Amino acid sequence: MTETRETLRTNLLNQIDHDNIPAHIGIIMDGNGRWAKSRGKTRIHGHQEGARRVKTVVRFANDLGVRHISLYAFSVENWARPSFEVSALMRLIRAYIVRERNDLHAEGVKFRLVGRIEELAPEIIKQAEISTELMKNNPGLSLNLCINYGGRAEIVDAVKKIINKGFKADQVTEELISGHLYWPELPDVDLMVRTSGEMRTSNFHLWRSAYSELYFTPVLWPDFDDVELLNAILAYQNRERRFGKISEQLGKE
């Protein structure tokens, strides 16, 4: 990090309200391919750099006191990509889980996969289960790696579970649906971040993002660092979250 970057980081740290850190941040990690193309590299190289960036962001978020980070790593729609890229991404995901396990554990981070996990390769499931078990009692941030995930798929799967349990239509509530999502204990997303300049949420955490603050940045994911995360958090803190109410009801003018 250059001296200028360190100065920016320090200035932003002095501006943010450390008592108003978003508890759950969702990140759509976009732009790996464009980052690589602009450097004459392959898309796979871009994904590798993007995986390295995860470590920086997770560590810094943990230090800030963020309780949950959900990373959109592979969607249910991503299976339609070229087979060689899908295979490379799956190898990269497995390698990341194994490679980062001890460091994440040492930093007190918890870990889990979120999505249609049963459809993944057995070795990925096995390695994820090892990491989840190892870190389950850690006190820090929960890193939720969303693999084979889709917001609509999550809601559909929740409805199927409810039907299979025999609930009647008049018993269905928001709380009941929330309790049948992939990880029911995971709270709503406070801040949803998307990198690379695209301005859509692309089927990510549809249920939990009902009142998320949205933050879009042109920065490509491999360039998204602690300074960029602070910019996103500062933007979040400068907004008024009313949840359907008016300012006067929140004690604000």
Catalytic residue among 62, 78, 188, 203: 78
In tens, the pLDDT along 17-67 reads 999 999 999 999 999 999 999 999 999 999 999 999 999 999 999 999 999
| Arithmetic mean of pLDDT, 174-196 | 97
Task: Answer yes or no: is pLDDT of 4 > 60.
Answer: yes
| Arithmetic mean of pLDDT, 198-211 | 97
Give, in order, the Cα–Cα distances in Å from 88 to each of 24, 48, 85, 92.
29, 10, 5, 6
Compute φ and ψ for 59, nearest 5 degrees: -60, -45
| Structural contact between residues 212 and 189, judged by C-beta atoms closer than 8 angstroms | yes
In tens, the pLDDT along 226-247 reads 999 999 999 999 998 765 655 6
Q: Is the sign of the CA dihedral 33, 39, 42, 48 positive or negative?
A: negative
Q: Identify whether 20 is a catalytic site residue.
A: no
Q: Rounded to two decimals, what is the model's pTM?
A: 0.93
Helices (H), 65-147: 83-106, 122-135
Give the HSE-up count for residue 25: Cα atoms under 13 Å, Cβ half-sphere.
28
Looking at this protein, which amino acid is placed at residue 205?
H
* Residues facing residue 70 across a β-bridge: 26, 144
Stated as kind and residue range, the H or E segment containing 147 is strand 142-149
Q: Identify whether 164 is a catalytic site residue.
A: no
Domains of the chain are: 21-150+189-236 (3.40.1180.10)
Compute φ and ψ for 26, nearest 5 degrees: -105, 135
Catalytic residue among 14, 30, 62, 138: 30
Higher-confidence position of 252 and 189 = 189
| Arithmetic mean of pLDDT, 94-102 | 97
